[in-house]
C-alpha cells in the first residue's frame, strides 16, 4: 500500500422483518448497542477449542515417521486438538475398504492409529482429515467404477498427480466410499470429529452422470451441485455423529469474500464448525488483513459457532508454493494473530512428518511460541459479544449476480470500506445480507452498504424500519437499484429513505470528445460541515470513477464537476460551473443519520488510493457514528482494532500492520509502534479490576469514569491485547 494511504491513516487519527419495528438505537455512550450475549457453551467439546494444529502426511511418512517426536511437539504448543491425515487418495492405517489405497510404505504399521494414541496420551483431541475430491487410480477401480472420477470433454480423467485423479461429486465415491471410510474410523479409532479438505467445489466434469445433468458451466448444473453438496454434508455429519453426538463434522468452505460459486449461506445453516482454508494470502498484492477479513466473513455466516482459519507455516505466494520450506517471515504469526483478534480458532499447519521434523524444522518455534502464549491467556480469547458499533453488510448476490460496470473485482467496494475502517481504527463486524433482521441489525448503531446493488423489497423494508428505530445507514453507488434477482429498478428502492432520485444511468467520468484524454471527475464543496472536514483549503476534491446522476437536492454538501481534459496543460480547466447533481446526500431522520454517496467512492479508493476519497469515506463513517466508535485507539501507525466482551471482562486487540513489504505478499518483520492511547466505553455498569497487556506480559495503569476506561499502551510490536478483567 502506498505511503499516502498510511499517511492518511495517521491523519485520520433468518427471516426478514415483517411488520416489526427496531427498538430505538440510542447513540449516546451510555447505551452503546452491541451483540446479544452468548452463554458459555456447556455442550460439545469443540465449542471451547481455540487452538488446533495439523501435520499432513505424505505417502512416504510411514517409513520413517517418529510419532513420539511429533506428539511431543504438538503437546508443547498447547493445542487442544489436531487434524490427522486419514485419507485423500492414500490410507495411513490398515484399511479393509476396497479401493482405498494403503500407503506403499505402510507395511505392518498403523501410522494413523499410533498418532491417535500418542496424541490422546498427551490430552489432545483428534479429528480426521479426509480429501474426498481425489482418489488413487487403480486400473480395476477405473474399470469397475468409471463414474467415480471427473472426466474431461475428451473422456480422459482429470488428474492432479501421478496415479491420482479428481473425483466426481455425483458418483459413488462420495455417496458410498466416503461414508464407509468414516464408519471404519468410528469403529476402530478414538476420534473426535472429521474435517473434509478440498470439498465442496464447483467442479467441471463431463462423465456420463454429469452429461445427463447438463453443461457443467450452466446454472442448472451448478444448482444440482449445490443441492447434492447439501445432501452429502448432511449425510457425512450424521455418519460422523453416529460415534458420539459431541463429535463434529466440517467441510472446506475456503474462506474470504471472493466468488467461489458456492452459496455458503445455505451450506452453513446447520454447520457445526467452519473451516476457512485460505492458508496464506491469495495473491502477492492481497491486503495484509486478509485473514482477519475471512474470519469476520465466516462469523457473519456462523454467528457464535466455531470458525477456524488455517495458517500455513510453509512458504507460499499466491498460486506458487514451496510446500516443504518454512516461511521465515512473520506472516504466519501475523495471520494467527489476526485469527485470534477477529474471534476465530487458530489452526497452524505443516506438511510432512519427515520433512517437518528432519529436513526443515524452522516452522516449529514460531508456532510453539504463539500457540503456547495464546494458551497461557486462554480465558481472554473466549468472546461473549462484539463491541463493534458498526457493521459492513456483505452481500454475495451483489458480488455474483450483479452486472457491474467494470471488469474489476466486485469486492473492491467492500475492500475500500474495510481499508478506511482499519485506517480510522474503528472496530467493525460483517453482517450478512440474509441477516437483515431486527435481532441482528439492532446490535449496531450504524450499517454500511458498500454498493449493495441487489436488495429485495423485504430487505429494503427491514432497512427502513431499522432507520425508523434510530439506526444510521451509509450507502454507495447502485445500492438498491436492483431486486434480489438482479433485475434493474427504475429508481432506488431506498430512494425515499435517503432523499435521492435517479435521473440517469450510471456513468463513467470522461470528457465528451473521443480525442480528449480521460479525466477523473471532481466534486465541488458546497457546504462546510463535519462531512467536509479536512477540506477547508479547497473548493473541490477528487471524485470517483463511476457515479449515478441524481436530481438536485436542497442545500447539498457536494455536487459533481463536469469532467474536462487533463492534457495538454493549456486545456486543463473547467468549461462549465459545478453541476447541481449531488455527489453526497446526507440527512437526519429522527435519531438516524443517513448518507448516500452517488459514486463508487469505496471501490475507487481501493483501486486508486486517492486520499480525498478516503477522507470523504472516513468523514461519512464518523458522522453516522456520531463520532463515537465505542473503542478508540490513538497513536501512530496502521492498526486494525478488534474489541470484545469476554468471559472474564473485555479484550481490545491491536494488530500492527506496519512492516517492510506488508502490502506485497508477506509481512516480513513488524516495525514496532510507540505509545497508543486507548479509550473503551464498556456496554454495561461494571468495575474493571485489572488491566493487563498480554503480549508484553505486564499490568498497565488505567482510569475508569463511569463506563469509560482509559489507559496507555507503551508500545506495540506485532500484536497486543489489552485484557480488562471485571
Distance CA 626, CA 635 (A): 21
Distance CA 586, CA 584 (A): 7
Contact in structure between 715 and 636 (CB atoms under 8 Å): no
**Segment 538-590, tens digit of pLDDT:** 999 999 999 999 999 999 999 999 888 888 888 888 888 999 999 999 999 99
The pLDDT of residue 376 is above 60: yes
DSSP string, 189-236: S---EEEETT-S------SHHHHHH--TTSHHHHHHHHHHHHHHHHHH
Contact in structure between 164 and 150 (CB atoms under 8 Å): no
* pLDDT band, residue 373 (cuts 50/70/90): very high
Can you give the pLDDT at residue 42? Answer: 60
Model pTM score: 0.92
Q: Is the four-CA dihedral 329, 335, 340, 345 of positive or negative sign?
A: negative
* pLDDT band, residue 513 (cuts 50/70/90): low
Q: Between vectors from CA 485 to CA 483 and to CA 491, what angle results, nearest 5°?
A: 25
Which is nearest to 126 in space by CA: 82, 186, 78, 187? 82
Strand (E) or helix (H) holding 27: none
Peptide linkage before 200 cis (omega within 30 of 0): yes
Distance CA 294, CA 292 (A): 6
Distance CA 601, CA 414 (A): 11
Q: State how beta strands 164-166 and 134-136 pair.
A: antiparallel
Can you give the pLDDT at residue 511? Answer: 54
Q: Is the four-CA dihedral 448, 452, 455, 460 of positive or negative sign?
A: positive
**Segment 428-486, tens digit of pLDDT:** 999 999 999 999 999 999 999 999 999 999 999 999 999 999 999 999 999 999 999 99
DSSP 135: E
* pLDDT band, residue 200 (cuts 50/70/90): very high
Can you give the pLDDT at residue 37? Answer: 41
Distance CA 381, CA 651 (A): 8
**Segment 587-636, tens digit of pLDDT:** 999 999 999 999 999 999 999 999 999 999 999 999 999 999 999 999 99
CB-based contacts of 198: which residues, under 8 Å, 6+ apart? 88, 131, 132, 133, 134, 252
Spell out the SS3 assignment of 646-691.
ECCEEEEEEEECCCCCCCCCCCCCCCCECCEEEEEECCCCCCCCEE
DSSP 493: T
Segment among 15-19, 248-252, 265-269, 722-726 with least mean pLDDT: 15-19
Contact in structure between 171 and 149 (CB atoms under 8 Å): yes
Segment among 255-264, 418-427, 552-561 with least mean pLDDT: 255-264
Question: Residue written as cell 469443540?
Answer: 46
DSSP 39: P
**Beta bridge mates, 154:** none
User: What is the share, in percent, of the chain residues with pLDDT greater than 90?
Assistant: 80
**Segment 686-714, tens digit of pLDDT:** 999 999 999 999 999 999 999 999 999 99
Distance CA 274, CA 686 (A): 33
DSSP 641: E
Neighbours of 536 (CB within 10 A): 8
Contact in structure between 9 and 288 (CB atoms under 8 Å): no
Can you give the pLDDT at residue 661? Answer: 85
Can you give the pLDDT at residue 36? Answer: 35
Strand (E) or helix (H) holding 652: strand 649-656
Strands (E), 328-471: 345-351, 383-386, 390-394, 429-432, 446-449
User: Of residues 34 and 662, which shows the higher confidence score?
Assistant: 662
Report residue 107: phi and psi, to 5°. 60, -130
What mean pLDDT value characterizes the chain? 91
DSSP 36: P
Can you give the pLDDT at residue 356? Answer: 79
User: Of residues 130 and 36, which shows the higher confidence score?
Assistant: 130
Distance CA 673, CA 653 (A): 14
Distance CA 621, CA 623 (A): 5
C-alpha cell at 407: 471488469
User: Of residues 471 and 510, which shows the higher confidence score?
Assistant: 471
Amino acid at each position: 500500500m502506498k505511503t499516502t494511504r498510511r499517511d492518511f491513516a495517521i491523519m485520520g487519527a433468518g427471516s426478514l422483518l415483517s411488520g416489526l419495528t427496531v427498538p430505538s438505537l440510542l447513540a449516546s455512550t451510555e447505551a452503546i448497542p452491541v451483540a446479544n450475549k452468548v452463554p458459555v457453551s456447556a455442550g460439545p467439546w469443540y465449542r471451547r477449542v481455540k487452538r488446533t494444529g495439523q501435520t499432513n502426511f505424505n505417502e512416504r511418512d510411514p517409513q520413517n515417521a517418529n510419532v513420539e517426536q511429533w506428539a511431543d511437539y504438538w503437546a508443547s504448543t498447547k493445542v487442544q486438538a489436531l487434524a490427522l491425515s486419514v485419507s485423500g487418495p492414500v490410507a495411513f492405517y490398515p484399511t479393509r475398504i476396497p479401493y482405498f489405497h494403503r500407503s506403499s510404505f505402510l507395511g505392518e504399521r498403523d501410522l494413523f492409529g499410533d498418532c491417535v494414541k500418542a496424541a490422546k496420551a498427551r490430552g489432545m483431541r483428534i479429528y480426521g482429515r479426509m480429501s474426498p475430491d481425489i482418489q488413487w487410480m487403480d486400473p480395476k477401480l477405473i474399470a469397475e467404477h468409471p463414474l467415480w472420477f471427473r472426466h474431461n470433454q475428451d473422456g480422459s480423467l482429470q488428474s492432479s498427480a501421478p496415479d491420482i485423479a479428481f473425483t466426481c461429486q455425483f458418483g459413488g465415491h462420495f455417496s458410498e466410499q466416503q461414508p464407509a471410510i468414516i464408519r471404519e474410523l468410528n469403529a476402530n479409532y478414538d476420534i473426535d470429529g472429521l474435517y473434509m479438505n478440498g470439498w465442496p467445489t464447483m467442479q467441471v466434469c463431463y462423465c456420463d452422470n454429469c452429461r445427463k445433468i447438463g453443461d457443467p458451466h450452466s446454472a442448472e448444473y451448478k444448482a444440482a451441485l449445490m443441492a447434492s453438496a447439501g445432501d452429502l454434508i448432511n449425510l457425512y455429519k450424521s455418519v460422523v455423529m453416529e460415534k458420539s453426538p459431541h463429535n463434529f463434522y466440517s467441510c472446506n468452505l475456503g474462506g474470504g469474500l471472493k466468488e467461489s460459486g458456492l452459496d455458503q449461506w445455505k451450506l452453513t445453516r446447520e454447520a457445526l464448525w467452519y473451516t476457512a482454508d485460505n492458508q496464506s494470502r491469495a495473491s502477492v498484492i492481497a491486503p495484509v488483513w486478509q485473514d482477519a477479513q475471512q474470519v469476520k466473513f465466516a462469523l457473519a455466516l456462523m454467528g457464535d459457532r466455531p470458525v477456524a482459519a488455517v495458517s500455513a507455516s510453509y512458504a507460499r505466494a499466491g498460486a506458487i508454493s514451496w510446500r516443504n520450506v518454512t516461511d521465515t517471515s512473520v506472516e504466519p504469526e501475523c495471520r494467527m494473530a489476526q485469527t485470534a483478534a477477529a474471534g476465530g480458532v487458530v489452526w497452524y499447519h505443516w506438511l510432512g512428518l519427515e520433512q517437518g521434523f528432519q529436513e526443515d524444522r524452522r516452522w516449529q518455534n514460531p508456532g510453539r511460541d504463539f500457540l503456547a502464549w495464546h494458551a497461557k491467556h486462554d480465558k481472554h480469547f473466549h468472546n461473549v459479544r462484539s463491541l463493534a458499533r458498526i457493521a459492513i453488510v456483505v452481500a454475495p448476490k451483489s458480488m455474483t449476480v450483479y452486472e457491474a460496470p467494470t471488469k474489476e473485482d466486485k469486492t473492491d467496494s467492500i475492500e475500500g470500506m474495510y481499508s478506511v475502517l482499519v485506517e480510522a481504527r474503528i472496530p467493525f463486524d460483517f453482517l450478512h445480507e440474509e441477516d437483515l433482521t431486527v435481532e441482528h441489525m439492532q446490535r449496531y448503531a450504524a450499517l454500511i452498504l458498500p454498493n449493495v446493488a441487489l436488495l429485495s423489497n423485504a430487505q429494503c423494508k427491514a432497512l427502513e424500519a431499522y432507520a425508523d428505530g434510530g439506526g444510521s445507514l451509509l450507502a454507495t453507488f447502485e445500492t438498491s437499484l436492483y431486486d434480489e434477482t438482479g433485475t434493474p429498478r427504475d429508481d432506488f428502492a431506498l430512494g425515499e429513505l435517503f432523499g435521492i432520485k435517479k435521473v440517469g444511468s450510471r456513468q463513467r467520468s470522461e470528457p465528451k470528445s473521443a480525442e480528449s484524454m480521460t479525466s477523473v471527475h471532481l466534486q465541488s464543496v458546497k457546504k462546510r460541515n463535519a462531512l467536509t472536514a479536512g477540506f477547508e483549503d479547497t473548493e473541490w476534491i477528487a471524485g470517483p470513477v463511476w457515479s449515478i446522476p441524481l436530481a438536485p437536492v436542497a442545500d447539498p454538501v457536494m455536487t459533481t464537476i463536469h469532467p474536462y481534459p487533463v492534457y495538454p496543460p493549456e486545456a486543463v480547466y473547467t468549461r462549465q460551473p459545478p453541476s447541481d447533481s449531488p455527489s453526497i446526500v446526507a440527512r437526519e431522520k429522527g435519531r438516524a443519520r443517513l448518507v448516500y454517496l452517488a459514486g463508487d467512492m469505496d471501490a475507487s479508493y481501493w483501486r486508486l488510493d486517492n486520499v480525498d476519497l478516503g477522507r470523504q469515506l472516513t468523514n461519512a463513517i464518523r458522522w453516522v457514528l456520531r463520532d463515537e466508535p465505542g473503542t478508540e485507539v490513538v497513536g501512530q501507525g496502521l492498526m486494525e482494532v478488534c474489541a470484545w466482551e469476554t468471559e472474564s471482562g473485555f479484550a481490545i486487540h491491536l494488530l500492527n500492520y506496519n512492516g517492510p513489504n506488508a502490502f506485497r505478499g508477506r509481512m516480513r518483520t513488524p516495525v514496532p509502534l510507540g505509545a497508543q492511547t486507548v479509550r473503551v466505553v464498556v456496554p454495561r455498569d461494571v468495575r474493571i479490576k485489572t488491566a493487563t497487556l498480554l503480549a508484553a506480559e505486564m499490568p498497565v495503569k488505567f482510569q475508569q469514569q463511569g463506563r469509560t476506561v482509559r489507559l496507555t499502551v507503551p508500545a506495540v510490536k506485532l500484536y497486543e491485547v489489552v485484557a480488562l478483567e471485571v
